[in-house]
Amino acid sequence: AEEVGGDDKEVVKEYFNSTGFQRWRKIYGGMDDVNRVQLDIRIGHAKTVENAIKMLCDEGSLQGVTVCDAGCGTGCLSIPLAKQGAIVSASDISAAMVAEAEKLTKEELQTSRNDLSPTPMFMPKFEIKDLESLDGKYDTVVCLDVLIHYPQNKANAMIAHLASLAENRLILSFAPKTFYYDLLKRIGELFPGPSKATRAYLHAEADIERALKNVGWKIRKRGLITTQFYFAKLIEAVPA
Residues in contact with ligand SAM by CB under 6 A are 9, 12, 16, 24, 28, 71-73, 76-77, 92-94, 97, 130-131, 144-146, 149
Q: Which is nearer to ligand SAM, 130 or 205 (CB)?
A: 130
Q: How far is the CB of 59 from ligand SAM (least distance, A)?
A: 21
Q: Which is nearer to ligand SAM, 149 or 169 (CB)?
A: 149
Pairing relationship of beta strands 138-143 and 125-128 according to DSSP bridges? unpaired
Which string of b and e fits 212-227 if b means at least 16 CB within 10 Å? beebebebeeebebeb
Q: Which is nearer to ligand SAM, 224 or 240 (CB)?
A: 224
CA nearest neighbour of 214 among 172, 155, 142: 155
CB-based contacts of 136, cutoff 8 Å, min separation 6: 68, 89, 165
Cα 171 to chain centroid distance, Å, stands at 9
Helix (H, G, I), strand (E, B) or coil at 155: helix
Q: How far is the CB of 71 from ligand SAM (least distance, A)?
A: 3
Give me the residue whose beta carbon is nearest to ligand SAM: 73
Q: How far is the CB of 218 from ligand SAM (least distance, A)?
A: 23
Q: Which is nearer to ligand SAM, 50 or 218 (CB)?
A: 50
Overall residue count recorded for the chain in this entry: 240
Q: Which is nearer to ligand SAM, 65 or 93 (CB)?
A: 93
Q: How far is the CB of 133 from ligand SAM (least distance, A)?
A: 8
Question: What does the alpha-carbon distance between residue 21 and residue 78 come to, in Å, rounded to a whole number?
Answer: 17
